[in-house]
Structure 1
């Protein structure tokens, strides 16, 4: 997944969505490295998609002053959404609650989580290609279980034909669960609402990253056909999930 996500604005620990998409190519920061032998990851059927009635409820709270949409920049082949906002100074003084690990029983994912920030050029840091088994939480999105869409990304594959941690993400179905262990000794439990695949050049930025009135989770990786000319996958798979409860670990 060719993601260099440029960040903008300020405000609460939420993602402020913009209709603009940043179009950049990662230098060593992709979420997928495809090969001809790696084109068989599960793809979500249309029946698993998030229904229109299940779209996140918009947050009526106005965006904080100074939070502007990112302008569109074209330097590469893949459109990528680009709207996470860093936390406000007030949020930074609050007690830190962070995710520690992720469990997705339906596809056998049990792994600790990296914490991802920004690259020096203001783009989204991604898990290292040196070990594609690691998923990562974007630390400027809400912590899982807090209001808003928490964002976790992972590779679909890596060099040498190795499968990435989110290789089977497209096999998830509505009703499956995702468990996020957190730094306070609790586990946030999410129920999957839908699994959608989108062309990179038609990524629904507002749907994925828009503010919500409840606690939600987004799991994202590359998917679809692999373009040998550009050496990138053409689509993204996004898992939408809603918090159903928390319990002690």
Structure 2
């Protein structure tokens, strides 16, 4: 999925900040204590030397501008993010699931949990309290071991259906369903689904449509979009 590109953009912006700081360091000596740059003392004139031949007095130390610094550590970036979602409920459909963070699987797709009671939140994207962008939560629709799973009920969602996401801080975020589409996997707009910009919204994803018994996979995805209410 395109979530990889979103994470790459975050890292790229941090690299750009580091590069800018590197250029400034090349122009002005970096202070050790954070004040003025140190300047090497000029050579001392010998006694009796012609004043005209004496070296000019050193210029006052140049001050170093205060540049906002941001760590490129992914761990620190994660700590700076809003609280992660921990529970999702759709009361009208009887859905109540634990939510845990995930990244990408070995194939470069968003990872999912085999446990039918656990939904996956894409941790490199927005969280419900981020204030912008798409919070993505996904889960399997069924399996040979567990049969029909909770997200299978999403197909019965109607516009305005209440979805509640609780985060790690205990805050309950309410959303109302705006749209629900079953789209062939090859034409799903993953850029929109994983968009980190724009209005805050919730995107729920599972499989849907016809099942390919030869390749043992669904041919489509169910994509539900909800907005804060």
Q: TM-score, normalised by structure 1?
A: 0.60
1:145 aligns with 2:129: yes
The answer for unaligned runs of 5 or more in structure 2 is 16-72
- Secondary structure in structure 1 of the residue aligned to 2:214: coil
- Secondary structure in structure 2 of the residue aligned to 1:10: helix
- Counterpart CA distance in 1 for 2:3 and 2:193 is 16
Q: Aligned match of 1:195 in 172, 180, 185?
A: 180
- Report what 1:163 is aligned to: 148
- Secondary structure in structure 2 of the residue aligned to 1:167: helix
Q: Which has the higher contact order (CA 8 A, sep 6+)?
A: 1
- How many residue pairs match? The answer is 171
Paired residues for 1:26-105 under 5 Å: 64=13, 91-94=77-80, 96-105=82-91
- Report what 2:8 is aligned to: 10
Q: Aligned match of 2:119 in 122, 128, 135?
A: 135
The answer for unaligned runs of 5 or more in structure 1 is 14-62, 67-86, 245-249
Distance 1:103 1:119, change over 3 A: same
- Counterpart CA distance in 1 for 2:81 and 2:145 is 42
Structure number with higher helix proportion: 2
Distance 1:5 1:126, change over 3 A: farther
- Counterpart CA distance in 2 for 1:93 and 1:115 is 13
- Report what 2:216 is aligned to: 231
- Report what 1:16 is aligned to: none
- Secondary structure in structure 2 of the residue aligned to 1:207: helix
Q: CA RMSD in A?
A: 2.8
CA contact (8 A) 2:175 2:226 kept: yes
User: In the TM superposition, what whole-angstrom CA distance separates every residue of 1:15-64 from its partner, at most 9, and x where no partner exists?
Assistant: xxxxxxxxxxxxxxxxxxxxxxxxxxxxxxxxxxxxxxxxxxxxxxxx95
1:243 aligns with 2:228: yes
CA contact (8 A) 2:125 2:196 kept: no
- Secondary structure in structure 1 of the residue aligned to 2:163: strand
CA contact (8 A) 2:83 2:129 kept: no
- Counterpart CA distance in 2 for 1:180 and 1:160 is 27
Q: CA deviation at 1:11?
A: 3.9
Distance 1:187 1:112, change over 3 A: same
1:154 aligns with 2:151: no
- Secondary structure in structure 1 of the residue aligned to 2:151: coil
- Secondary structure in structure 2 of the residue aligned to 1:213: coil
- Counterpart CA distance in 1 for 2:93 and 2:118 is 15
- Counterpart CA distance in 1 for 2:97 and 2:207 is 19
- The structure with the largest alpha-carbon Rg is 2
